[in-house]
Structure 1
Amino acid sequence: MFGISPAQLIIILVIVLLLFGTKKLRNLGGDLGSAIKGFKKAVSEDNNDEKKSDETEKLDAKATAEKSASTEKEKDQA
């Protein structure tokens, strides 16, 4: 992994643990997890909004077409 041996990685992790402590690292992990969940939720909501807006546009176009068709029928009948 990028030229870092497992022994070097363990030494780095021990130093980080000594510098920050377990409580701060636990809080950092929880904050990171909630940030990722929030990001995923925002992305999925954005995709759902795009799908809904596409469906709404199609329905609006269909309703406009039906309205204009009924208006033309009324003109023809008059």
Structure 2
Amino acid sequence: MGLSIWQLLIIALVVLVLFGRGRISEMMGDFGKGIKSFKQGMNEDDQAPSKPAAQIEGHAKETPSATESQPAERSDKAG
């Protein structure tokens, strides 16, 4: 028991009435663009990078916390 040609035509007609011809073609275009960008992303992942990524060097600025703002006592004081 499957769908006959008449049932498929009625479903297609209802879809066209609900969404309109322009909206369906717009959705299909967006769908095609999505597939294209997905394939490009997969191809970029397959390619090995020719040089390693640049690393940021240097120290991050640290903000003093409440416990560090008071002078700490050092156990190795001379005197």
Question: Which TM-score band (shorter chain)?
Answer: 0.5 to 0.7
Deviation at residue 7 of structure 1 after TM alignment: 2.0
Q: Which runs of 5+ in 2 are unaligned?
A: 52-79
Deviation at residue 11 of structure 1 after TM alignment: 1.1
1:1-78 equivalences under 5 Å are 3-48=2-47, 52=48
Aligned length: 51
Structure 1 CA distance, aligned partners of 2:44 and 2:4?
Answer: 41
Residue identity matched to 2:36: K
Query: Which of the two has higher C-alpha Rg?
Result: 2
Residue identity matched to 1:18: V
The normalised TM-score by structure 1 is: 0.55
Q: Which runs of 5+ in 1 are unaligned?
A: 57-78
The normalised TM-score by structure 2 is: 0.55
Q: Secondary structure at the match of 2:3?
A: coil
Deviation at residue 6 of structure 1 after TM alignment: 2.4
Residue identity (%): 39
Alignment RMSD: 2.2
More helix by share: 1
